[in-house]
């Protein structure tokens, strides 16, 4: 470190990527400071994966309590108290944030509270204090995109959903991605009338068509309403608090008590002073980096995680943070392998996938074999719950290798995580077949596909 710098590394943003990079760089011997303007832990811990998943667990009791009766349990008039769940989840989030802060302190990373604005390639200002560092890591994540529609200030985003005073009676969720579908399930299970309003005519672009179609069918059966090919034109609030959404195409306006935008996430680079350091952004406002997470235009500035808009998932941000720290401070050049990244949607029921979808495989490989198992899980049969699971393997005909695995049904993300190891390792269908099933499970379908 040169004498003119206070730190070897200044990390901006204490989320998934930033915390990992800071901690590992410090373990490699670097003097590290990390700046956070909101709460240590970032999106995943404070207002993303973790509180979301806890709400999904809470929501699922609505179905479990109904199903329990068929298993002999007497469950009289169960009621749901949102403030109890909300406050327990928020307390857990605070506990986890504290653990992250402790981890940073244990690694002698200086945590600085406030908003950082870059003032040059080696410096940033935080609450009037100038910090100088040999290297700067931008790990500022992304924020919800709110479309430019008159009255959009009446809507909320996922950030606010965790703090609601009450569950709205009627909620419209704008968007069709994973956050929209997850919250549609959560609010529906909590008893809200849910309408998912989407500009296009599909949900969950990028996931296998058959799997997402199954989610759509099950969601419709549960009573979630879908308005496809619908564009919001304006939002007005009536004196009784009701929101009225004017929509295009001559369709009737939609009334609701709350509107949530789940219309994508944009990299957090506005007002960050990146121009003073000559850091180049792409058209979507993401920091442009090379394969080693280094800014393509400023040698002392690096970026990891959602702010680079590569794959906006926590495990990817963490790997990028780790690779950055190992490469730059650990003398251990490491690059993230972006192949075969599994992902999940914690809808009701959840779905998950890895590798090529059927249509991607057909386009890329020509001849493929597709194996599906469309079945009613044993627990659903006894519960009289008419919800079928769908498992699917996509196989390259030429090599017998499994190039894609996709599933929807109870615990699908838990099951798919291990199937993803096999797909990533390039195992063949014959190798799946050679594995003896664990009976009775749902996962056994994966080795019994004919
Ligand atoms: C509702 C929701 C559900 C999600 N569910 C999942 C899931 O199930 N699985 C999954 O893998 N991913 C999920 N994600 C995505 C995941 O949260 C992100 O991919 C991940 O948090 C990205 O990590 P990051 O380090 O890039 O940024 P973040 O975790 O967003 O951290 C960035 C931090 O930088 C801080 N910051 C920004 N600007 C400044 C500044 N100028 N100065 C100081 N601090 C600043 C922010 O306050 C924030 O704490 C979800 C996201 C949302 C919103």
| pLDDT tens column, 387-438 | 999 999 999 999 999 999 999 999 999 999 999 999 999 999 999 999 999 9
Number of other CB atoms surrounding residue 75 within 10 Å: 11
Instruction: Tell me the CA–centroid distance for residue 390 and ligand 1, in Å.
Output: 31
The answer to whether 372 touches 390, Cβ cutoff 8 Å, is yes
* CA 339, chain centre distance (Å): 18
Q: For residue 44, give the ligand 1 atom closest to its CA.
A: 17
The answer to whether 267 touches 306, Cβ cutoff 8 Å, is yes
Q: For residue 321, give the ligand 1 atom closest to its CA.
A: 25
Q: Which of 20, 49, 112 to mutate to test the pocket of ligand 1 (most atoms within 8 A of CB)?
A: 49
Chain length of the chain: 450
The tens digit of pLDDT for each residue in 228-240 reads: 999 999 999 999 9
Q: How confident is the model at residue 366 (pLDDT cuts 50, 70, 90)?
A: confident
Return the residue whose CA atom lies nearest to atom 1 of ligand 1. Answer: 48
Instruction: Tell me the CA–centroid distance for residue 218 and ligand 1, in Å.
Output: 30
The answer to whether 21 touches 137, Cβ cutoff 8 Å, is yes
Residues 30 and 108: their CA atoms lie apart, in Å, by 10
Instruction: Tell me the CA–centroid distance for residue 177 and ligand 1, in Å.
Output: 17
Average the pLDDT over 260-272 and give the result.
97
| pLDDT score, position 3 | 63
Which residues form ligand 1's pocket by a CB distance below 6 Å? 12-18, 35-38, 42-44, 48-49, 52, 115-116, 139-141, 158, 179, 268, 272, 305-307, 312-315, 317
Residues 9 and 280: their CA atoms lie apart, in Å, by 20
Instruction: Tell me the CA–centroid distance for residue 172 and ligand 1, in Å.
Output: 24
Q: Is 439 a catalytic residue?
A: yes
State yes or no: pLDDT of 1 exceeds 60: no
Instruction: Tell me the CA–centroid distance for residue 53 and ligand 1, in Å.
Output: 15
Return the residue whose CA atom lies nearest to atom 7 of ligand 1. Answer: 49
The answer to whether 369 touches 441, Cβ cutoff 8 Å, is no
Q: Which of 12, 15, 182 to mutate to test the pocket of ligand 1 (most atoms within 8 A of CB)?
A: 15
Instruction: Tell me the CA–centroid distance for residue 15 and ligand 1, in Å.
Output: 6
Given the residues 107, 348, 406, 439, select the one marked as catalytic. Answer: 439
The tens digit of pLDDT for each residue in 151-201 reads: 999 999 999 999 999 999 999 999 999 999 999 999 999 999 999 999 999
Instruction: Tell me the CA–centroid distance for residue 341 and ligand 1, in Å.
Output: 18
Counting residues of the chain whose pLDDT is more than 70, the rounded percentage is: 99
State yes or no: pLDDT of 4 exceeds 80: no
Return the residue whose CA atom lies nearest to atom 20 of ligand 1. Answer: 314
Return the residue whose CA atom lies nearest to atom 52 of ligand 1. Answer: 48
Q: For residue 158, give the ligand 1 atom closest to its CA.
A: 1
Residues 375 and 318: their CA atoms lie apart, in Å, by 36
Lowest-pLDDT choice from 239-253, 278-292, 360-374:
239-253
| pLDDT score, position 164 | 98
Q: How confident is the model at residue 5 (pLDDT cuts 50, 70, 90)?
A: confident
Return the residue whose CA atom lies nearest to atom 9 of ligand 1. Answer: 49
Backbone angles phi, psi at 396, to 5 degrees: -75, 115
Q: For residue 115, give the ligand 1 atom closest to its CA.
A: 42
The tens digit of pLDDT for each residue in 289-342 reads: 999 999 999 999 999 999 999 999 999 999 999 999 999 999 999 999 999 999
State yes or no: pLDDT of 137 exceeds 90: yes
Q: Which of 20, 21, 137, 314 to mutate to test the pocket of ligand 1 (most atoms within 8 A of CB)?
A: 314
Return the residue whose CA atom lies nearest to atom 37 of ligand 1. Answer: 140
Instruction: Tell me the CA–centroid distance for residue 140 and ligand 1, in Å.
Output: 8
State yes or no: pLDDT of 2 exceeds 60: no
Average pLDDT, the chain: 97
Q: Which of 33, 141, 354 to mutate to test the pocket of ligand 1 (most atoms within 8 A of CB)?
A: 141
Cα dist from 119 to 126, 170, 269, 303, 327, whole Å: 10, 46, 14, 16, 25
Residues 188 and 195: their CA atoms lie apart, in Å, by 9
Average the pLDDT over 106-115 and give the result.
98
Residues 6+ apart with CB under 8 A from 61: 78, 80, 189
| pLDDT score, position 428 | 98
| pLDDT score, position 303 | 98
Q: For residue 114, give the ligand 1 atom closest to its CA.
A: 43
Q: Which stretches of 314-367 are assigned E, i.e. beta strand?
A: 343-345, 351-355
């Amino acid at each position: 470190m040169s004498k003119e710098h206070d730190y070897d590394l200044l990390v901006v943003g204490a989320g998934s990527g930033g915390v990992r990079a800071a901690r590992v760089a410090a373990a490699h011997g670097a003097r590290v400071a990390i700046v956070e303007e909101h709460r240590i832990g970032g999106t995943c811990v404070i207002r993303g994966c973790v509180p979301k998943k806890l709400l999904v667990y809470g929501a699922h009791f609505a179905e479990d309590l109904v199903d329990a009766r068929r298993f002999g349990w007497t469950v009289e008039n169960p009621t749901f108290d949102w403030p109890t769940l909300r406050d327990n989840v928020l307390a857990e989030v605070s506990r986890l944030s504290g653990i992250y802060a402790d981890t940073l302190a244990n690694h002698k990373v200086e945590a600085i509270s406030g908003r950082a604005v870059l003032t040059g390639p080696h410096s940033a200002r935080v609450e009037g204090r100038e910090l100088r560092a040999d290297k700067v890591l931008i790990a500022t994540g992304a924020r919800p995109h709110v479309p430019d529609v008159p009255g959009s200030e009446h809507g909320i985003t996922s950030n606010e959903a965790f703090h609601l005073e009450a569950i709205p009676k009627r909620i419209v969720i704008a968007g069709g991605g994973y956050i929209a579908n997850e919250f549609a399930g959560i609010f529906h299970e909590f008893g809200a009338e849910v309408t998912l309003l989407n500009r296009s005519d599909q949900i969950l672009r990028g996931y296998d068509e058959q799997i997402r179609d199954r989610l759509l069918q099950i969601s419709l059966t549960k009573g979630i309403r879908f308005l496809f090919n619908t564009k919001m034109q304006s939002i007005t609030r009536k004196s009784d608090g009701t929101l009225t959404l004017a929509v295009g195409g001559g369709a009737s306006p939609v009334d609701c008590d709350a509107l949530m935008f789940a219309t994508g996430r944009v990299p957090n680079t506005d007002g960050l002073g990146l121009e003073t350091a000559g850091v180049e952004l792409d058209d979507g406002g993401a920091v442009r980096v090379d394969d080693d997470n280094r800014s393509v235009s400023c040698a002392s500035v690096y970026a990891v995680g959602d702010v680079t808009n590569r794959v906006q998932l926590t495990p990817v941000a963490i790997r990028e943070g780790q690779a950055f720290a190992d490469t730059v401070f650990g003398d251990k050049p490491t690059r993230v392998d972006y192949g075969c990244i599994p992902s999940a949607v914690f809808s009701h029921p959840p779905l998950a996938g890895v590798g090529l979808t059927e249509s991607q495989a057909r386009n890329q490989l020509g001849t493929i074999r597709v194996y599906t198992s469309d079945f009613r899980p044993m627990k659903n049969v006894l519960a009289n719950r008419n919800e079928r699971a769908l498992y699917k393997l996509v196989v390259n005909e030429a090599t017998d290798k499994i190039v894609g695995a996709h599933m929807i049904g109870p615990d699908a993300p838990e099951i798919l995580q291990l199937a993803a190891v096999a797909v990533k390792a390039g195992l063949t269908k014959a190798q799946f077949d050679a594995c003896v099933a664990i009976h009775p499970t749902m996962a056994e379908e994966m080795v019994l596909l004919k």
